[in-house]
């Protein structure tokens, strides 16, 4: 890929950003998260935001910027996050997670930047900063642009929720623009029309009051790890339906027409399997692979531990067994209610001889966006212009809890203009983001503003 001088500069700046280990989940990185906030604040200033500020919260700071605020013009609020997921397991990275390098892959012969946050979401946030710079270098823009780039998305955005609730006036806007999702492929752009909700739980099963010799006691006491596995196994039935009573009660089913429409999106099952190295897919009976990972609710164990996991063998019955369990939710489901249903049911599965504690972590609602809005239409036109191919609407499986919150608190819909690919390995070792995707994003975003303003004025 032949890069212009400007593109090279953008690339270098992006790689500087990726060197800051802004891991929001781990208090050891608190100062780095702060450094990343300052970096974003600076970048917004340099790009042309006349007003920027770093807003402290009880957690990590929010970076806020305004390009201009003229009450006669439409206002677009750009949201993104500068925090990243922990890089673990570090030993599975081919190069260190906070030392970005450019490498080529089969999908990215032009090169991709490998680093934690390369795609999710530093790379995508930075596209917006640079798109502003490009637009301003070409003249003034006929709309107000506000930026809100937060540092706690990967840990549930709790403090941002409070901030949004208390700052309706400051955040007042006509549409919210977000690049924190993906698209189908480099040759088939898509616009996310939905996100799943989330309920995240942690469970502890406790048996004897101390670890026991598994020879002296084995066979006569309930082993918490065995029991935990049995309890987890009971959470699905033989058709891979979730067994928690009431779990599906509020699920909004899609019409057959909507499902047929979804099924038209290009998808290759063999490609899907080989891309993640599996020989068969598995999921809820009665739904296609793509439905299972977007419009259906799920339950997955994210981590499980207890007992001896070190080198060699130790004969022991652990006193405690732990698991982290998440449920992806769909429109209709109330995440707090689901967390309660889970708690009651999980506790009811405990046999005599153990006690069970269940703790709620964060959660959030699912989100859907209609395609008839001018925001969606502007995004459609923007992609069509840069890719030469009309983008197709596509429901996503991930969650961004602040998006449904924006709708509730500000009454504003979000347009999910993501440029990532499933193969970017977000949250995994060797996360990367293609140069193609990064520069296409920078080209596409200005088109969105232009079309949005035009459609707004026609209205
Ligand atoms: N950007 C992702 C969400 C995403 C990715 C949505 C790709 C659709 C397509 C976001 O940063 C994320 O990882 N969200 C978390 C939820 C959060 C509460 C930790 C998730 O989905 O697990
Ligand atoms: Mn993200
Ligand atoms: Mn993420």
Ligand nearest to the CA of 293: 1
Ligand index nearest the alpha carbon of residue 398: 1
Contacts from 54-60 at CB under 8 Å and sequence distance 24+?
55/163, 57/152, 57/159, 57/160, 57/162, 57/163, 58/159, 59/24, 59/151, 59/152, 59/155, 59/158, 59/159, 60/24, 60/30, 60/33, 60/34, 60/150, 60/151, 60/152, 60/159
**How remote is the CA of residue 400 from the centroid of ligand 1, in Å?**
5
Regarding whether 206 and 91 lie in a shared domain, the answer is: no
Same domain, 168 and 20: yes
Mark whether 349 and 210 lie in a shared domain.
yes
Range of the domain at 357: 197-261+268-284+293-364
- Whether residues 105 and 224 share a domain: the answer is no
Q: How far is Cα 40 from Cα 373, in angstroms, rounded to an integer?
A: 30
- pLDDT (tens place) for every residue of the chain, 459 residues total: 899 999 999 999 999 999 999 999 999 999 999 999 999 999 999 999 999 999 999 999 999 999 987 999 999 999 999 999 999 999 999 999 999 999 999 999 999 999 999 999 999 999 999 999 999 999 989 999 999 999 999 999 989 999 999 999 999 999 999 999 999 999 999 999 999 999 999 999 999 999 999 999 999 999 999 999 999 999 999 999 999 999 999 999 999 999 999 999 999 999 999 999 999 999 999 999 999 999 999 999 999 999 999 999 999 999 999 999 999 999 999 999 999 999 999 999 999 999 999 999 999 999 999 999 999 999 999 999 999 999 999 999 999 999 999 999 999 999 999 999 999 999 999 999 999 999 999 999 999 999 999 999 998
Q: How many Å lie between the centroid of ligand 1 and the Cα of residue 455?
A: 30
What gap in Å lies between CA 331 and CA 365, rounded to an integer? 7
Both 384 and 446 in one domain: the answer is yes
Going by alpha carbons, the residue nearest to atom 6 of ligand 1 is 398
- Domain shared by 360 and 379, yes or no: no
Query: Do 189 and 89 share a structural domain?
Result: yes
Compute the CA torsion angle 283, 289, 295, 300 (nearest 10 deg): 40
User: Which of 125, 152, 398 to mutate for ligand 1's pocket (most ligand atoms within 8 Å of CB)?
Assistant: 398
Rounded to the nearest angstrom, the distance between the alpha carbon of 182 and the centre of ligand 2 is: 10
Domain closes at, from 364, 395, 412: 364
C-alpha atoms less than 13 angstroms from C-alpha of 35 in its C-beta half-sphere: 12
Cβ of 152 closer than 6 Å to ligand 1, yes or no, is: no
- Is the CB of residue 405 less than 8 Å from the CB of residue 387? no
pTM: 0.95
Instruction: Return the CATH number at 335.
Output: 3.30.70.360
Distance 153 CA to ligand 2 centre (A): 7
* 335 and 404 fall within a common domain: no
Instruction: Tell the burial category of 57 from Cβ atoms under 10 Å away from its Cβ (0-12, 13-18, 19+).
Output: middle
pLDDT of residue 433: 98
Return the closest-CA partner of residue 453 out of 184, 39, 135: 135
Q: Are residues 165 and 201 in the same domain?
A: no
CATH number of the domain encompassing residue 133: 3.40.630.10
Ligand 3 centroid from CA 120, angstroms: 5
- Is residue 250 domain-shared with residue 158, that is, in the same domain? no
Q: Are residues 52 and 169 in the same domain?
A: yes
Which of 337, 364, 391 is at the close of a domain? 364
Question: Comparing C-alpha atoms, which of 342, 239, 362, 238 is closest to residue 292?
Answer: 239
Structural domains in the chain (count): 2
Single residue among 315, 346, 364 that ends a domain in this structure: 364
Q: Same structural domain for residues 181 and 307?
A: no
Report which ligand 1 atom has the smallest distance to the Cα of 401. Answer: 18
pLDDT at residue 253, as a whole number: 94
Could you give the C-alpha distances from 247 to 233, 362, 404, in angstroms and in order? 16, 18, 20
């Amino acid at each position: 890929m032949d890069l212009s001088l400007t593109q090279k500069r953008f690339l270098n700046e992006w790689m500087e950003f990726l060197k800051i280990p802004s891991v929001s989940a781990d208090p050891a990185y608190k100062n780095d998260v702060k450094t990343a906030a300052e970096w974003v604040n600076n970048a917004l200033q340099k790009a042309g935001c006349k007003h920027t500020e770093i807003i402290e919260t009880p957690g990590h700071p929010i970076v806020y910027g305004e390009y201009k605020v003229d009450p006669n013009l439409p206002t677009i609020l750009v949201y993104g996050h500068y925090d990243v997921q922990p890089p673990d397991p570090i030993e599975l990275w081919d190069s260190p997670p906070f030392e970005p390098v450019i490498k080529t892959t089969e999908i990215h012969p032009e090169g991709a930047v490998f680093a934690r946050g390369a795609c999710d979401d530093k790379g995508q946030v930075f596209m917006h900063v640079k798109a502003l710079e490009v637009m301003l270098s070409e003249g003034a823009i006929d709309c107000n642009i506000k930026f809100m780039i937060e540092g706690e998305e990967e840990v549930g955005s709790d403090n941002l929720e409070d901030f949004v609730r208390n700052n309706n006036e400051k955040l007042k806007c006509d549409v919210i623009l977000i690049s924190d999702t993906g698209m189908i492929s480099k040759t088939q752009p898509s616009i996310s029309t939905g996100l799943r909700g989330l309920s995240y739980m942690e469970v502890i099963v406790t048996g004897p009051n101390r670890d026991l010799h598994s020879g002296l006691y084995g066979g006569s006491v309930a082993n918490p790890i065995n029991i935990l596995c049995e309890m987890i196994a009971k959470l699905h039935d033989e058709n891979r339906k979730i067994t928690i009573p009431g779990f599906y009660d509020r699920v909004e089913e899609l019409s057959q027409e909507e499902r047929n429409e979804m099924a038209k999106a290009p998808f290759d099952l063999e490609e899907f399997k080989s891309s993640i190295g599996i020989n068969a897919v598995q999921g809820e009976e009665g739904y296609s692979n793509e439905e299972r990972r977007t419009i259906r609710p799920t339950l997955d164990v994210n981590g499980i531990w207890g007992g001896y996991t070190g080198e060699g063998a130790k004969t022991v019955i652990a006193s405690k067994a732990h698991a982290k369990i998440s449920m992806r939710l769909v429109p209709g489901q109330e995440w707090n209610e689901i967390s309660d249903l889970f708690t009651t049911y999980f506790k009811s599965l405990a046999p005599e001889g153990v006690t069970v504690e269940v703790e709620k972590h964060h959660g959030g609602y699912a989100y859907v966006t209609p395609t008839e809005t001018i925001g969606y239409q502007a995004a459609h036109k923007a992609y069509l212009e840069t890719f030469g191919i009309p983008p197709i609407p596509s429901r996503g499986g991930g969650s961004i809890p602040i998006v449904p919150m924006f709708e509730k608190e500000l009454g504003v819909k979000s347009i999910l203009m993501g440029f990532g690919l499933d193969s970017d390995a977000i949250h995994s070792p060797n996360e990367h983001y293609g140069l193609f995707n990064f520069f296409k994003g920078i080209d596409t975003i200005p088109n969105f503003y232009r079309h949005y303003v035009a459609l707004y004025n026609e209205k």
